[in-house]
Structure 1
Amino acid sequence: DAMAARHPRRRVRDLLSGPYLGRTLAVWMLWATCGFIQYGLSTWLPTIYKTVYHAPLQLALNLAAGASVLGVVGSLVCAMVVDKVGRKPVINVSFVLCALSLALAGLLHEQSVYVVATLCAFAMGFLASGFITAYVYTPELYPTSVRAMGCGFGGAWLKIAAIFAPTLIAGTIGSGDLSGAFYALALVPFAAALTVHWLGIETKGKVLEQLEA
């Protein structure tokens, strides 16, 4: 009771006011990016491999599955390094490398299906590292009184992005501009990395009471 009395009571509106505004914007961008890339890219990879590069159906599915394997690797790497180097560095580096992989896929989209599939697999692996970190990072940014709400809004942005991303990407692919689709995808994690860098705070090595603004 004494500890609770020393901390002000927070409300939902605090998520978008005062010192929590920057944190909330970083969280929303972080989760929206994860949803946009994860579902926007993974939904269309088998179709891209089969229709654009004329890969057999089984090969297209195998290549798409390979991207999921890299996602597991990215998650394991995150688990091993996030408590050592910090949350923001893992998110920022992962998202920048994800953006670079997607940009290279756009640049080299006229190469073989294996080149594009390898770059997309790396993009999914890097994304997974930042994605898993989001589960660690988000709850650490809010006090107990609004933590569930803060995490809930972040998850809502992931679902919103997951709903619209496949349709947006389909419009680009349908026009035949495959490089444009990859470039557009690359901009999203790059923007998220900048947002987390400038608006997010580092939570490594701190107890929750220290992080309450």
Structure 2
Amino acid sequence: MTEAAPPDLAARQDIAARLERLPLSRWHVTVRLVIGVVTFFEAFDQLLIAYTLPEITREWGLTSAGATSALTTGSVGMLLGALISGRLADRIGRVRVIAVCVAVTALGSVGMALCTSLAPFLVLRFVQGLAIGGEVPTAASYISELSGARRRGRFVLVYEVVFPAGLAVGALASAWIIPHWGWRALFALAAVPGVVAVLVQRRVPESPRWLAACGRTADAVRTLERIETEVRRSTGRDLPEPAPARPVTGGRTSTLGDLFTGRYRRRTAVLWTLWFVGYLANYGITSWLPTLYTRTYGMSTSASLWYSTAASVAGLVGCVLAAFTVDRFGRRVVLAVGLAATTAPMFVLAALGATSAPQLAVWSALAALFNFAVNISLYLYTPELYPTRSRALGCSMGGVLNRLGLITGPVLVGALHAATGDLSAVFLALGGITLVGTVVTALFAEETKGRTLEELSP
């Protein structure tokens, strides 16, 4: 006779099974929309400094060192924010961390709009970076925990598409607002979504999976009952019976060591490799495109920016394609094919020598299409590979490797180009790096399609 699970574990099993049986409804879409608005504007804020820096440099008379500090301070903050947020979200809750992060981001934007010198601007940009770096992986954990196994890929990635969309809208808004109203108006606009922090706290429930994993079973049940009521109301139908509950292990406080024990050791090694490789290639290409078009091919600033948008638009298309194929083909296939298809254009550019601007635009856009698809899929794949007690921590550490790749890519490309003066060497190096990611994915990545979070990480 099978021994019954202790009451708290039985409750966690029941909560997971009840969440899995919920049909996709207007309630799910509303919650995804509220969190999506937050993430959209976090992306919007992320690159504002790049677009406003020329005006800030002129107004404050910044030196090259000052301009570099303005560009990098936020990235350092984002790295530390990603490092801190996972442990915090696994302790105090996903929704609370998300709400605090968006409020801090908005206040930082207000403060930067009012700054008249570099020093306070850098402090506020660093604090804002902490919030942006903390919100994105925490939100990915939260959205993943609300979704069922069958449609989790599309549900999560349709939400994640808002991040590259926010980057694109930030670029377009900057091009329109700065010439007409100046750089301060752009930061003032970025502060408006701070009101969403109130909506997050009032309209978005805490993750029942997290509440149950923390031992707050009564809160988890009450929250789930409210969710079930909303889903019934929005669908107009009774809910199906839950499938037999899968066993789960006891909850406890997460530690960094959890990511390197048992089955999670290989998962963490694979994920860290993919986060680093994906974002190194991404920012290694995109951050240097405007400079390459102007310095290498003698194009005007306006023309170089238009050429550079080809990669951003292609990347957004790649994210949408990933969202609508990842549940059909699986995470491992999308990641491996995406990395392989990123590698091929790199090697083509290395062989051709990137001898013209149109050649660079076409092949870099093709690489970006698949590279962005890989990177957005990691926001789905990472939460699936860790248990609830350490899911946010696992996502935040992925964010740390993301930021390390983001910083390393532009430095590597700049150093190679300065040392060799040859774009072939640059693209050969980037192609070699993404080839490593392809091999790692093909040999060691674990498929998660159609499996519940509890089945993957009991």
Q: Same fold (TM over 0.5)?
A: yes
Does residue 198 of the first structure (1) align with residue 446 of the second (2)?
A: no
1:1-213 residue pairs with structure 2 within 5 A?
A: 1-3=8-10, 4=12, 6-9=248-251, 11-175=255-419, 176-212=421-457
Unaligned runs of 5+ in 1: none
Contact 1:92 1:196 in 2 (8 A): yes
Contact 1:50 1:57 in 2 (8 A): yes
Cα deviation, residue 6, structure 1: 4.3
Counterpart code for 1:209: E
SS at match of 2:287: helix
Counterpart code for 2:302: Q
- Alpha-carbon separation, structure 2, partners of 1:54 and 1:105: 19
Cα deviation, residue 8, structure 1: 4.6
Contact 1:36 1:161 in 2 (8 A): yes
Distance 1:110 1:74, change over 3 A: closer
Contact 1:90 1:130 in 2 (8 A): yes
Query: Which consecutive aligned stretches of 4+ in structure 1 deviate over 3 angstroms post-superposition?
Result: 3-6, 8-11
Contact 1:37 1:185 in 2 (8 A): yes
Contact 1:82 1:90 in 2 (8 A): yes
Distance 1:6 1:110, change over 3 A: closer
- Alpha-carbon separation, structure 2, partners of 1:70 and 1:6: 41
SS at match of 2:288: helix
Cα deviation, residue 164, structure 1: 2.2
- Alpha-carbon separation, structure 1, partners of 2:334 and 2:319: 11
Which entry has the higher C-alpha Rg, 1 or 2? 2
- Alpha-carbon separation, structure 1, partners of 2:270 and 2:263: 12
Q: Which moved more, 1:69-78 or 1:166-175?
A: 166-175
- Alpha-carbon separation, structure 2, partners of 1:80 and 1:207: 19
Higher relative contact order (CA 8 A, sep 6+): 1
Contact 1:86 1:202 in 2 (8 A): yes
SS at match of 1:91: helix
SS at match of 2:447: coil
Cα deviation, residue 114, structure 1: 0.5
SS at match of 1:54: coil
| TM-superposition CA deviations, 1:12-43 (whole Å, max 9, x none) | 31211221111001111111122212222111
SS at match of 1:125: helix
- Alpha-carbon separation, structure 1, partners of 2:328 and 2:368: 23
Distance 1:110 1:119, change over 3 A: closer
Unaligned runs of 5+ in 2: 1-7, 13-246
Contact 1:11 1:145 in 2 (8 A): no
- Alpha-carbon separation, structure 2, partners of 1:134 and 1:27: 8
Contact 2:9 2:249 in 1 (8 A): no
Structure 1 equivalent of residue 221 of structure 2: none
| TM-superposition CA deviations, 1:165-213 (whole Å, max 9, x none) | 2111101111202101001111222211221222221000101111116
- Alpha-carbon separation, structure 2, partners of 1:113 and 1:97: 21
- Alpha-carbon separation, structure 1, partners of 2:340 and 2:455: 29
| TM-score normalised by length of structure 1 | 0.94
- Alpha-carbon separation, structure 1, partners of 2:248 and 2:377: 30
SS at match of 1:126: helix
- Alpha-carbon separation, structure 2, partners of 1:189 and 1:110: 19
- Alpha-carbon separation, structure 2, partners of 1:11 and 1:103: 41
- Alpha-carbon separation, structure 2, partners of 1:102 and 1:206: 34
